[in-house]
């Protein structure tokens, strides 16, 4: 499969072209990681994978609150989220 | 001497503010609300506290109310989500900037802050405005509140009786409810906003529909309530559909996006064409809004009068009936000033401002 490079919290990662941003984050870490905290500080990550739950929101190319599960990766994409300290 | 009893119809912010003021001046208060407190236009609007100098009557009432909100908000900012963010009125051209400059002495004469911004100052305050704007007017004393919560808090101060019911008729000495009950009172206050004519059809009030959008949380995207100078021109006086750029930072970091006005639309559905025109107008002033994610769109109804001023005072032909309605898009702001006026008129004391421009009798020919 073709691969591309994206930046996740400023680190370059190689991921499958055609992956979603949520998929690329999981692929980069080889596990599910939390990518957001709720207003009350609870850990959040992609849940539904189909654009309904809004729990997977990350910042993509400086635009906040983008749905990671609904956004395909692109070469050079800058993906950022808050490191929560949870696995 | 037994306590006088007042029935207030309508538990929006205006009805609740009147309840608080009347209870504080010795009345026993019964509030009749058909839904929940603060659920009508109170919940649908932006919650802006704004001093507007577009007419002497509007300025007197909004300036008085802005001061009252400041005192209430400063005393209990968490209850009201009171955020003294100020307003910036954006000029689109040099003519509007000259209009803004002419307003500064009016505000200063009323003892209010007002500051003319040149382009550099405008962008220092609000960098997300589109380039090329000449400046604006900053009113630092304006603020934002959470109106439904304030309405509930005002009501809680009264120790009165809340009845969840619909009123079907107002008569001398009381009201009739939908279940047939008659309630008696020494005075009745009608504060039902855009639904006023359901109970008193002769009053000159028309519903004016509006749409609002709320976004996800983007703290720091804007710092003030930001609206176009043409807002009042576009919005308040025109008798036709209109849109105007008006955005507001909420305490949560969310942004409320408005505004539009439509007469004689009696269904609450979101109108995609109107919504599109409204957002297009906002993007003309703040293109970066297009990068934000919106969560929800809703509509509501303002209670508009022919001259743009509310109806505050006695009904000229129905003894015992008092009106506090017709506040158009300014009801959150002017609720507190309205309550002071109405209570002073009902108690035969001296109000803080001249009540004449708001008396309902102006719409009734002298016999």
CB-based contacts of B290, cutoff 8 Å, min separation 6 = B283
Do both B235 and B279 map to the same domain? yes
Mean pLDDT confidence for B64-79: 95
Model confidence at B227: pLDDT above 60:
yes
Q: Which residues pair with A11 in a beta bridge?
A: A8
Token code pair at residue A70: 């609904």
Q: Spell out the domains of chain A, with CATH numbers in brackets.
A: 3-80 (3.10.20.30)
pLDDT category of residue B238 using cuts at 50, 70 and 90? low
Residue-level pLDDT at B24: 98
Helix crossing, B13-24 with B147-156: angle to 10°? Answer: 30
Mean pLDDT confidence for B207-223: 96
Do both B212 and B353 map to the same domain? no
pLDDT category of residue A1 using cuts at 50, 70 and 90? confident
Residue-level pLDDT at B234: 61
Do both B278 and B316 map to the same domain? no
User: Pairing relation of β-strands B321-325 and B311-314?
Assistant: antiparallel
Does residue B352 form part of some domain? Answer: yes
Do both B286 and B344 map to the same domain? no
pLDDT category of residue B235 using cuts at 50, 70 and 90? low
CA distance B77 to B222: 20
Do both B295 and B230 map to the same domain? yes
Residue from B239, B207, B225, B228 nearest B278 by CA: B228
Mean pLDDT confidence for B283-297: 95
Model confidence at B237: pLDDT above 60:
no
Mean pLDDT confidence for B299-327: 97
CB-based contact, B93 to chain A, within 8 Å: no
Look at residues B282, B304, B326 and tell me which one is the last residue of a structural domain: B304
Backbone angles phi, psi at B128, to 5 degrees: -85, 0
CA distance B254 to B83: 13
Mean pLDDT confidence for B90-96: 96
Token code pair at residue B193: 């906003």
Do both B213 and B335 map to the same domain? no
Model confidence at B266: pLDDT above 90:
no
Model confidence at B44: pLDDT above 60:
yes
Query: Which residues from chain A sit within 8 angstroms of residue B254, using beta carbons?
Result: none
Query: Which residues from chain B sit within 8 angstroms of residue A55, using beta carbons?
Result: none
Mean pLDDT confidence for B253-265: 93
Residue-level pLDDT at A84: 67
Model confidence at B251: pLDDT above 60:
yes
CB-based contact, A3 to chain B, within 8 Å: no
Does residue B285 form part of some domain? Answer: yes
pLDDT category of residue B232 using cuts at 50, 70 and 90? low
Do both B134 and B223 map to the same domain? yes
Does residue B277 form part of some domain? Answer: yes
Query: Which residues from chain B sit within 8 angstroms of residue A70, using beta carbons?
Result: none
pTM confidence score: 0.91
Does residue B112 form part of some domain? Answer: yes
Mutate to test the interface with A, among B287, B293, B294, B295 (most CBs of A within 10 A): B293
CA angle B160, B165, B170 (to 5 degrees): 85
Do both B175 and B237 map to the same domain? no
Model confidence at B284: pLDDT above 80:
yes
| A65/B291 touch (CB, cutoff 8 Å), yes or no | no
pLDDT category of residue B264 using cuts at 50, 70 and 90? confident
Mutate to test the interface with B, among A39, A51, A54, A63 (most CBs of B within 10 A): A63
CA distance B52 to B58: 6
DSSP 8-state secondary structure symbol assigned to residue A40: T
Contact B133, B90 (CB under 8 A): yes
pLDDT category of residue B265 using cuts at 50, 70 and 90? confident
**In the 3-class helix/strand/coil scheme, how is chain B assigned residue by residue?**
CCCCEEEEECCCHHHHHHHHHHHHCCCEEEEEECCCCCCCHHHHCCCEECCCCCCHHHHHHHHHHHHHHHHHHHHCHHHHCCECCCEEEEECCHHHHHHHHHHHHHHHHCCCCCEEEEHHHHHHHCCCCCCCCCEEEEECCCEECCHHHHHHHHHHCCCCEEEECCEEEEECCEEEECCCCEEECCEEEECCHHHHHHHCCCCCCEEEEEEEEEEEECCCCCCCEEEECCHHHHHHHCCCCEEEEEEEECCCCEEEEEEEEEECCCCCCCCHHHHHHHHHHHHHHCHHHHHCCEEEEEEEEEEECCCCCCEEEECCCCCCEEEEECCHHHHHHHHHHHHHHHHHHHHCCCCCCCCHHHCHHHHCCCC
Token code pair at residue B208: 């004016």
| A63/B291 touch (CB, cutoff 8 Å), yes or no | yes
Mean pLDDT confidence for B67-94: 96
Question: What CA–CA distances, in Å, run from A24 to A29, A46, A53, B185?
Answer: 9, 12, 19, 69
Residue-level pLDDT at B240: 79
Mean pLDDT confidence for B13-21: 98
Residue from B295, B310, B304 nearest B61 by CA: B310
Helix crossing, B56-75 with B331-347: angle to 10°? Answer: 100
Residue-level pLDDT at B154: 98
Q: E strands along chain A, which residues?
A: 3-8, 11-16, 36-37, 43-44, 57-60, 63-67, 78-80
CA distance B48 to B87: 9
Residue-level pLDDT at A24: 95
| A57/B218 touch (CB, cutoff 8 Å), yes or no | no
CA distance B321 to B191: 11
Residue-level pLDDT at B182: 96
Model confidence at A86: pLDDT above 60:
no
Does residue B235 form part of some domain? Answer: yes
Do both B236 and B293 map to the same domain? yes
pLDDT category of residue A39 using cuts at 50, 70 and 90? confident
Model confidence at B270: pLDDT above 60:
yes
Look at residues B304, B321, B350 and tell me which one is the last residue of a structural domain: B304
Specify the CATH number for the domain of residue B130: 3.30.9.10
Specify the CATH number for the domain of residue B353: 3.50.50.60
Model confidence at B236: pLDDT above 80:
no
Question: Within 10 Å of residue B26's Cβ, how many Cβ atoms?
Answer: 10
Does residue B53 form part of some domain? Answer: no
- In this structure, of A3-7, A37-41, A70-74, B352-356, the range with the lowest mean pLDDT score is A37-41
Q: How many domains does chain B have?
A: 2
Model confidence at B293: pLDDT above 70:
yes
Contact B325, B192 (CB under 8 A): yes
Do both B138 and B223 map to the same domain? yes
pLDDT category of residue B211 using cuts at 50, 70 and 90? very high
Does residue B181 form part of some domain? Answer: yes
Mean pLDDT confidence for B3-23: 98
Of residues A42 and B142, which shows the higher confidence score?
Answer: B142
CB-based contact, A64 to chain B, within 8 Å: yes
> Could you tell me how many residues make up chain A?
87
Look at residues B288, B304, B320 and tell me which one is the last residue of a structural domain: B304
Do both B217 and B354 map to the same domain? no
Q: Which domain holds residue B352?
A: 5-43+147-203+307-363
Does residue B99 form part of some domain? Answer: yes
Do both B213 and B349 map to the same domain? no
Residue-level pLDDT at A32: 82
């Amino acid at each position: 499969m073709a691969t591309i490079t994206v930046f996740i919290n400023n680190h370059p990662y190689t991921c499958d072209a055609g992956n979603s941003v949520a998929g690329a984050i999981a692929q980069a870490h080889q596990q599910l990681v939390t990518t957001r905290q709720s207003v009350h500080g609870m850990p959040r990550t992609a849940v539904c994978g189909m654009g309904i739950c809004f729990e997977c929101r990350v910042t993509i190319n400086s635009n906040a609150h983008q749905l990671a599960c609904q956004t395909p990766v692109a070469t050079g994409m800058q993906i950022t989220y808050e490191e929560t300290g949870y696995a | 001497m037994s306590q006088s009893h007042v029935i207030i119809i309508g538990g929006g912010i205006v009805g609740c503010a009147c309840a608080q003021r009347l209870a504080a001046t010795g009345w026993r208060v019964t509030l009749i609300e058909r839904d929940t407190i603060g659920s009508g236009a109170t919940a649908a609007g932006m919650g802006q506290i704004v001093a507007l100098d577009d007419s002497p009557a509007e300025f007197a009432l909004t300036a008085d109310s802005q001061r009252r909100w400041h005192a209430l908000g400063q005393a209990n900012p968490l209850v009201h989500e009171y955020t003294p963010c100020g307003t910036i009125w954006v000029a689109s051209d040099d003519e509007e900037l000259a209009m803004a400059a002419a307003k500064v002495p009016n505000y200063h004469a009323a003892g209010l802050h007002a500051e003319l911004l040149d382009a550099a100052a405008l962008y220092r305050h609000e960098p997300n405005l589109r380039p090329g704007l000449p400046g604006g007017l900053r009113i630092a004393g304006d603020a934002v509140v959470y109106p439904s919560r304030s309405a509930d808090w005002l009501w809680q101060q009264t120790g009165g009786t809340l009845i969840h019911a619909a009123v079907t008729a107002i008569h001398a000495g009381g009201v009739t409810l939908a279940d047939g009950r008659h309630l008696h009172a020494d005075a009745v206050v009608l504060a039902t906003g855009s639904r006023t004519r359901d109970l008193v059809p002769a009053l000159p009030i028309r519903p004016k529909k509006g749409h609002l959008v709320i976004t996800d949380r983007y703290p720091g995207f804007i710092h003030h309530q930001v609206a176009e100078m043409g807002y009042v021109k576009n919005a308040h006086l025109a008798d036709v559909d209109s849109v105007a750029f008006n955005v507001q930072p909420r305490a949560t970091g969310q942004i409320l996006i408005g505004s539009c006005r439509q007469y004689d639309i009696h269904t609450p559905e979101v109108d995609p064409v109107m919504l599109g025109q409204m957002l297009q107008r906002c993007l003309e002033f703040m293109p970066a809004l297009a990068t934000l994610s919106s969560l929800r769109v809703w509509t509501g109804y303002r209670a508009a009068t022919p001259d743009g001023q509310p109806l505050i005072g006695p009904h000229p032909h129905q003894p015992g009936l008092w009106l506090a309605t017709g506040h158009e898009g300014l009801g959150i702001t002017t609720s507190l000033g309205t309550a002071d006026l109405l209570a002073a008129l009902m108690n035969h004391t001296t109000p803080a401002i001249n009540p004449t421009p708001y008396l309902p009798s102006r719409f009734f020919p002298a016999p």
